[in-house]
Amino acid sequence: MKWPKASFTNFVIVLVGTSLIFLATAWAAEGLSTAFADVTLHHVPLGVAYKVIGSAKKSLLIRNLGDKTVRVEVDVLPPDLKQLRRGAAAIPDVRWVQVHPAILDLPPHAEREYEVFLSVPDEDQYRKRLYQVMLWSHSIPTGGEGITVSAGLLSRLQFSAGL
């Protein structure tokens, strides 16, 4: 059977559109979420490990929205100039921020807490300044078969140290 050119074009458009809808539906069910998106702390004590608490009264809570277990890693990153907000400076040393555990397996539809600790050196030069650091929570491959689509969240943490 020979298709008329307009009918074949319409058929291809409908086929591709339907496929994209099915893929979007499948991918929409996968991913990560957190309320720890833009956290600001004031008067962080100098010279001690301070546990960061977000709006959920916990540290960094990550939720797996998908139907499969995912391995999630949290990396501490300095912000790019474009990411800096409210007059903050980039954190002088990302080692001031520790995340425990850095990697964990997150079951389907489960939520787990990563404890975030901030340790600002006890030096006057860091007092009364606003700093910013980024936390990148992302899934990492576990060696399974097939194609893996990774999800990730970029959270902003701002803080001022001392009184």
pLDDT one-digit tens code per residue, 3-38: 555 565 555 455 555 554 544 444 445 799 999 999
CA distance 133 to 90: 6
Query: Which has the closest alpha carbon to 34: 94, 113, 97, 105?
Result: 113
- Calculate the alpha carbon distances from 9 to 12, 13, 14, 23 in Å: 5, 6, 9, 21
What value, to the nearest 5°, has the Cα angle with vertex 133 and ends 130 and 139? 160
| 107-131 pLDDT tens trace | 999 999 999 999 999 999 999 999 9
72 and 17 inside one domain: no
Residue 20 sits in the same domain as residue 82? no
Residues 64 and 103 reside in one and the same domain: yes
Q: Is 82 helix (H, G, I), strand (E, B) or coil?
A: helix
* CATH number of the structural domain spanning residue 106: 2.60.40.10
